[in-house]
Chains A and B, each alone.
Chain A
Amino acid sequence: MPDAVPLPPLEPTRDPRVTLPDLLEVLLNRGVILHLDLIIAVADIPLIGVSLRAAIAGIETMLEYGMMRQWDEQTRAWVQRSISRSVPFADGEELVARMAGGHERTGLYTAWRPGTLYLTDRRLFLFRREPREMLWEAPLERIRTIQGEPDRSVGGEKRLRLRVVLDDGSEARLSAAEPERMLPLVREQAERLGRPLSTSLPGRGTGLEILREGHVWYHEPRAAGPVWRGGEAKLDRRNGLTWKSPLDARAAVALGPDEIRGVRLETGRSPGGSRVLVVETRGDPVRLAVDDVLAWGQAIVDLLESRAAAERYDGGG
């Protein structure tokens, strides 16, 4: 084997460039002791004196030297208390995620109540600080499943909502600033508790399924006589029939599926033509006009029939 060529002696080398962040990192990791005595003088007359003794280092370095441990722990504990002073955390309950959110309150009309959505290691809840109210909460053990549900809000913009089903079958619809972030976190926490969430939604048509939506005129009852007004109507399995004008704050028509008794066509003058869709309710009938009257009528009939079928199924047990 030929003689190996002797290598030059090893010389210490340096990365060609040292940047300011590198310098700071080294200083903070090692720790810096500064002794500074400074006099600022004008015409040789001292005017300002500075006498400074400083130890500056990253907290980890401080802790290594046994300094500031108590202060560090107190500061971190103080923050926990000041958050929980207003938000009702239980003792030892730990926050996993927090973001803006809302809860959908159904009933007389559908409204989204805004608050802050908190996921802890024990619960998922929506809390509002001012005025102080717990808008919705559920312990993680009670959540059967949580799903993202795309939704066309009344304003027309698409949002991903969170549908939560609890172990007693009750449901809630929540919204979140970052639903894609919240969903896996909730699932993770539930798994951690040994109660992984099912991935299937309860069936039998309790889903949102929008049957029909579009621009529809509503013959709105007024003191001086009914008036045809334009707006957006939506027919879906859960909320029933809603109609809202963009000029109004709330939907003028909000008929739950149970409140729709029937539907028929009438002849009459309307912006949609010569036929008016009349929706029978427990109270006054609702008159609507739309270009595709027949399609809307059929959709409402479908809704009534599927509900009747579901009731028969339930009754049969």
Chain B
Amino acid sequence: MALSVDENSLKHGVLSLVVTLVEVIQEALETQALRRMEGGELTEAELNRLGEALLELDEAMEQIKADHGITASVEDLRRGLDDVVDDVVDKLINPARWAEEAGEERS
């Protein structure tokens, strides 16, 4: 089977995927950081360090997206992933829908 790959769109695709996943991890880190900050156990120096590091990470991500011109692709990919998650959760909550869809596929 011959597989022809356009190198540029492959790079573009892989880079967008990697950046999207890093962004998702970044957001998870930020929410957990917020929980720690509210937990009240971190010292002021640690709070500052954490805040600064997360800010730097955010700025770095924006720079990477801008430098490579993938901001739009990353947004699209994010929306696609969110759609998948929404769909799965919806089916988990409404098992009837799941059964319905399975029935359709069989017929």
A 93-111 to B, binary, CB cutoff 8 A, 1 in contact else 0: 0111100000000000000
Q: Does A76 contact B (CB under 8 A)?
A: yes
In whole angstroms, what is the CA distance A97 to B44 when docked? 11
**A24-B43 in contact (CB<8A):** no
By a CB distance below 8 angstroms, the chain A residues around B31 are: 21, 24-25, 28, 58
Q: Does B103 contact A (CB under 8 A)?
A: no
Across the interface, B93 reaches (CB within 8 A) one of A14, A94, A97, namely A14
Q: Does B75 contact A (CB under 8 A)?
A: no
**A20-B82 in contact (CB<8A):** yes
Q: What number of residue pairs across chains A and B have CB atoms under 8 A from each other?
A: 55
By a CB distance below 8 angstroms, the chain B residues around A63 are: 39, 41
Given A21-B28, A28-B31, are A95 and B85 neighbors across the interface (CB < 8 Å)? Answer: no
In whole angstroms, what is the CA distance A63 to B32 when docked? 13
- A145 vs chain B, min Cβ distance (A): 24
Q: Does B72 contact A (CB under 8 A)?
A: no
Given A18-B85, A19-B86, A20-B81, are A94 and B36 neighbors across the interface (CB < 8 Å)? Answer: no
**B81-A94 in contact (CB<8A):** no
- B76 vs chain A, min Cβ distance (A): 14
User: Which positions 77-126 of chain A face chain B at CB distance < 8 Å?
Assistant: 94-97
B 28-58 to A, binary, CB cutoff 8 A, 1 in contact else 0: 1001100110010101111011000000000
Q: Measuring CB to CB, which residues of chain B are less than 8 angstroms from any residue of chain A? A: 24, 27-28, 31-32, 35-36, 39, 41, 43-46, 48-49, 78, 81-82, 85-86, 89-90, 93
